[in-house]
């Protein structure tokens, strides 16, 4: 049977047949039928806005792969910087490539002193770290004259490297400012994850625990990319105007700042805190079913089976708790998961734990305040945004993003003088 679809315009009887490739057919079919015809698709539920080779996501079967590699294998065997190289280049690096890439990233972690002393200090003392992070990423581009030279492959690599290298430094700077503590300079002899933890927590003779270092690295891997989500779409839309990567990334981070995108794990912690005890779980689930409560950390816009990242994060959580002590909300979370997955109401609606259900508990156990949760999402997602930005620029089929609309306002009418209104 041919992989095609035939569309008939019942108004004219005109028919067009187009190929189906990878479950997608080109929108040019509609233009062939009628150039004035558009498809109304709020929030892009059924629209593939681009062709990408970066991340494969099968929501029906709970599959996530970066460049063809299952997320389970990468989380077990790889490192964040190795995964970052994969996302940007399409293949895992060999030993020499990984050594050079790691050196380039770990030796460009410092930020200009004016960024720390003048820019950061311009914020109010209680500024939200994510608001500072968004602003700092946009401002970072003003320090580099080559940031606008996006058609130069050498400059493009340099700017991508700077954003990945300096994002943890900026994140730690934002946190330190928000709590009034002195800034810790980067340590280039540490790994990507260990350097970030060191900048966050070093006071006196602090040493990064290797278990927490690995947990941070795994969390970074799991959050590195996730196909065409809200933030990545923002990155591509802004990047389609050929804006520099700093401005584009700031726009993507702004999208992530929204509570419906990057704030989900913070909402999970609030929910578990409000439940308070395992004894209150049954009543809470009943309130959800009656429409009064909301079950956070379950279900996903794309995953209709289970989120493969959730299983990995749950295993990581137990390793972290062996070092930090068990998060007191863990028992509530485990009971909530058990009860929800045993209730046909939630199972029939395919509501399974997602990546946010346990990540907030890990962050909290490691000492991060909830105000830093979205920043912790933005650090690793930076490479995903940049990989898509780079792919966009290399795709000759892409043009400046310009969606159309379905106008439902009034028809033409004549202007009425103010005195007669």
- Active-site residues, by number, are 261, 300, 356
Of residues 141, 132, 210, 223, the one with CA closest to residue 171: 132
For residue 48 the two structure tokens come to 């593939």
For residue 381 the two structure tokens come to 């997602």
3-state secondary structure of 266: helix
HSE on the CB side for 359, CA within 13 Å?
32
CA distance 316 to 319: 5
Which residues are CB-contacts of 165 (< 8 A; sequence separation ≥ 6)?
Answer: 104, 105, 106, 107, 108, 109
CA distance 215 to 135: 28
3-state secondary structure of 70: strand
Which residues are CB-contacts of 121 (< 8 A; sequence separation ≥ 6)?
Answer: 177
In the DSSP assignment, the letter for residue 64 is E
For residue 26 the two structure tokens come to 């080109």
Between helix 373-394 and helix 129-140 the angle, nearest 10°, is: 30
Residue 175 near residue 372 (C-beta atoms within 8 A): yes
Task: Tell me the CA distances in angstroms from 161 to 111, 140, 173, one per residue in order.
Answer: 13, 13, 19
Q: What H or E segment, with its residue span, contains residue 419?
A: none
CA distance 196 to 80: 13
For residue 225 the two structure tokens come to 């990319």
Residue 16 near residue 7 (C-beta atoms within 8 A): yes
């Amino acid at each position: 049977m041919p992989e095609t679809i035939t569309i008939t315009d019942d108004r004219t009887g005109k028919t067009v047949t187009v190929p189906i490739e990878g479950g997608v057919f080109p929108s040019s079919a509609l233009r062939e039928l009628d150039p004035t015809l558009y498809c109304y698709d709020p929030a892009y539920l059924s629209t593939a806005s681009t062709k990408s080779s970066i991340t494969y996501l099968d929501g029906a079967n709970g599959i996530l792969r970066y460049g063809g590699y299952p997320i389970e294998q990468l989380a077990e065997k790889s490192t964040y910087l190795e995964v970052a190289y994969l996302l940007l280049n399409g293949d895992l690096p060999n030993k020499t490539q990984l050594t050079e890439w790691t050196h380039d990233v770990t030796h460009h972690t410092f930020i200009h002193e004016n960024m720390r002393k003048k820019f950061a200090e311009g914020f109010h003392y209680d500024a939200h770290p994510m608001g500072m992070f968004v602003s700092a990423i946009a401002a970072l581009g003003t320090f580099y004259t080559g940031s606008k030279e996006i058609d130069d492959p050498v400059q493009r690599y340099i700017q991508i490297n700077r954003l990945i290298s300096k994002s943890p430094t900026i994140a730690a700077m934002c946190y330190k400012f928000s709590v009034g503590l002195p800034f810790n300079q980067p340590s280039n002899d540490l790994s990507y994850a260990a350097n970030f933890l060191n900048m966050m927590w070093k006071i006196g003779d602090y040493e990064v625990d290797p278990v927490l270092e690995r947990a941070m690295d795994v969390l970074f891997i799991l959050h590195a990319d996730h196909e065409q989500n809200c933030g990545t779409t923002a990155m591509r839309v802004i990047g389609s105007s050929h804006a520099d990567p700093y401005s584009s990334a700031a726009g993507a981070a702004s999208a992530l700042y929204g509570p419906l995108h990057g704030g989900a794990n913070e909402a999970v912690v609030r929910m578990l805190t409000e439940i308070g005890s395992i004894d209150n779980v049954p009543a809470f689930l009943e309130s959800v079913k009656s429409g009064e409560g909301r079950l956070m950390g379950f279900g996903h816009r794309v995953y209709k089976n289970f989120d493969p990242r959730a299983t990995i994060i749950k295993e990581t959580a137990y390793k972290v708790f062996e070092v930090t002590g068990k998060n007191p909300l863990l028992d509530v979370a485990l009971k909530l998961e058990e009860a929800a997955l045993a209730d046909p109401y939630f199972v029939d609606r395919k509501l399974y734990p997602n990546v946010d259900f346990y990540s907030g508990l890990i962050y909290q156990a490691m000492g991060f305040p909830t105000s830093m949760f979205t920043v912790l999402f933005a650090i690793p997602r930076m490479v995903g945004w940049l990989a898509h930005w780079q792919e966009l620029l290399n795709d000759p089929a892409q043009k400046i993003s310009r969606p159309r609309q379905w106008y439902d306002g009034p028809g033409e009418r004549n202007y009425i003088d103010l005195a007669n209104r």
